[in-house]
Amino acid sequence: MEKRTELYSGKAKSVFTTDDEQRMVMWFRDDTSAFDGKKKEKLERKGAVNNQFNAFIMQKLAAAGIPTHFEKLLSPQESLVKRLTMIPVECVVRNISAGSICRRLGVEEGLALNPPTFEMFLKNDALGDPMINEYHVRSFGWAEPEHIEKMKALTFQVNDVLKALFLDGNMLLVDYKLEFGLFNGEVMLGDEFSPDGCRLWDKDTREKLDKDRFRQGLGSVVEAYEEVGRRLGMTFEY
């Protein structure tokens, strides 16, 4: 597989074309940002940790029957993935109140949400990724109705798999965001699943083990990510 030209460079990942039109290389950089890019840093080892963490999770989800774009690890910081036609909608499930839902609804952090909430956001950095609903998605043609339903079903299936996985490591899956795309007409999980895009707390102490450590200046960001991996039985290569 020959890595060719850079197709896209985001806040923490770069994507490259390959000699196969249906495959791409994702390179996880050490860059970290928050608050729509207002806070930025480079954190040593972060790219390698997130790449390998994402590979581990994607393989767990695939084993549970969830279609994903992940194919294989190429190096500590690179993965081979299917080239999806991305749907510009982020799907968010919240099992415990934290982050923006507390600010929007005036609720305290740490409330168990039963049933979990499901929210959608338009993936648009310039607009601050505004919250949307299914009528917006349909009216503006961002996704077909059957794709929306599939995305919702897969998002909750991910919740069932990962809540149990993290609980085995004495962690709470507080919330997370997912992105989906189409590959030969099939809805698949794309982008990544790492501590950058979810909230994870220690079950007993509620210590934060995710990107909130960076957002809130708590320090030891990569060390916390590595601790999450260790609890799941992972070892990292650098």
CATH code reported for the domain at 3-82? 3.30.200.20
Its pTM stands at 0.96
Q: Domains of the chain: which residue ranges? A: 3-82, 85-219
pLDDT of residue 38: 78
Read off the pLDDT of each residue in 183-194 and give the average, rounded to a whole number.
98
CA distances from 196 to 6, 24, 213, 215 (A): 22, 21, 10, 10
Query: Model confidence at 36, in pLDDT bands (50, 70, 90)?
Result: confident
Query: Model confidence at 216, in pLDDT bands (50, 70, 90)?
Result: very high
* CA-atom Rg of the chain in angstroms: 17
pLDDT of residue 35: 84
- Return the closest-CA partner of residue 31 out of 197, 227, 196: 196
pLDDT above 70: percentage of residues in the chain: 100
Read off the pLDDT of each residue in 55-72 and give the average, rounded to a whole number.
98
Give yes or no on whether 3-82 and 85-219 have one common fold.
no
CA distances from 111 to 25, 64, 67, 225 (A): 39, 28, 31, 24
The CATH topology of domain 85-219 is D-amino Acid Aminotransferase; Chain A, domain 1 (3.30.470)
Q: What tens digit of pLDDT does each residue of 67-114 get?
A: 999 999 999 999 999 999 999 999 999 999 999 999 999 999 999 999
- Strand, helix or coil for residue 29: coil
> CB 169: neighbour CB atoms within 10 A?
18
CB contact burial 72-87 (16+ within 10 A = b; e otherwise):
ebbeebbbbbbbbeeb
The pLDDT of residue 1 is above 80? no
Enumerate residues 6+ apart whose C-beta is below 8 A from 174.
Answer: 94, 95, 96, 98, 198, 199, 200, 201, 210
Q: Whole-angstrom Cα distance, residue 238 to residue 43?
A: 13
